[in-house]
Amino acid sequence: MGATGSKLEKALGDQFPEGERYFGLENFGNTCYCNSVLQALYFCVPFREQLIEYYTDNKNLADAEENLLTCLADLFMQISSSKKKTGVIAPKRFVQRLKKQNEIFRSYMHQDAHEFLNYLLNELVDILEKEARAAKAEAETSSPTEKMSNGPTSMHANGAQKEPLVTWVHKNFQGILTNETRCLRCETVTARDETFLDLSLDIEQNSSITSCLKNFSSTETLNAEDKFFCDKCCSLQEAQKRMKIKKPPHILVIHLKRFKYIEQLGRYKKLSYRVVFPLELKLSNTVEDADAEYSLFAVVVHVGSGPNHGHYVSLVKSHNHWLFFDDENVEMIEESAVQTFFGSAQEYSSNTDHGYILFYERTAAAGRS
């Protein structure tokens, strides 16, 4: 274990980034799905900084109960404040808490990294929202004079009470999609917005993220049994529907749908398709912020030929170096090695290491952080 760490320190030499830590994570029996996602999140710098800030602001709360957020903050704090630059840490408390809270992750079976990421981000949001509501209620009860002077209805006057809370998790990962439906009879466009924390994209053989995003936003015609009820026509009509990214997030998480249910087989199959993901990505089909530009900083890779077994590792870009995290092991890799994880151009290939979840950060030039 120590050998890996010292080897990495030797490889980086005096280029070892000031204040950075590169730690492997111990595997507790098929917890690679968790380790690979945690490494990607740790190197999502704005998220890490806000999580550590949360930890320092809340560590003195005597009555703070343990939850996934406190366990994650504790783990990130342990890594970032370590005296050693490299090594191995056991995320034991976090994994125990995860299993205690959600029976899906309780077994020793192979779990899905995307399912875990989704669950974790939503859970963090729930905890932060609950805390914000409790703090607001406490502030209101502790200052009755202020409440009276503002008038009891002031809270509802502009509907602020019903506004959804925007946590720092939202500020990093949340984007807005708009679902547009155009009635082909009266040409009226109905738009419905919905938020997302990650985008799940269908994939095709020998494609790219750009083409997958184009397909995601392609126009679909609703006819026959799928007709759309147009409020203006007051009847079912043929219509055209499309999904567009209205507001791109600061951190864009893209999940490639590599596991597909095959009717004839009656089970899921892994699609090993070659999908090129660029180091720099331009989102062109957005409503606001045309041509938002992103830089790839982490990839969660699924290793294996099927959906119910295999392994997860992650590739991470930190201070212009690419690193490979495989549970306890951490090593440097060349940037050119990233393309070996695009997938296989042939159906049956010996290479089973395929990019599964991609993490892109908005570049300062194009975005408002």
Catalytic residues: 32, 311
Total residue length of the chain:
369
Q: What whole-number distance in Å separates Cα of residue 79 and Cα of residue 246?
A: 36
- Torsions phi, psi for 287 (to 5 deg): -80, -55
> Taken in order 105, 114, 206, 216, is the CA torsion positive or negative?
positive
Q: Do residues 43 and 80 lie in contact, with contact meaning Cβ atoms separated by under 8 Å?
A: no
Q: Are 317 and 298 in contact (CB under 8 A)?
A: yes
Cα–Cα distance, 59 to 76 (Å, whole number): 13
User: Strands, DSSP E only, in 212-326?
Assistant: 220-222, 228-230, 235-237, 239-247, 251-256, 259-262, 267-270, 275-276, 280-283, 292-303, 311-318, 321-326
Rounded Cα distance between 60 and 262, Å, is 52
Decide: 287 and 217 in contact? Cβ < 8 Å. no
The Cα 22–Cα 43 span in angstroms is: 10
Residues 109, 114, 120: CA angle, nearest 5 degrees = 95
Strands 267-270 and 259-262: antiparallel
Dist CA 273 CA 290 (whole Å): 29
Alpha-carbon radius of gyration of the chain:
23
344 backbone dihedrals φ, ψ, rounded to 5°:
-110, 135
Q: Name the residue among 231, 243, 242, 244 with its Cα closest to residue 185.
A: 231
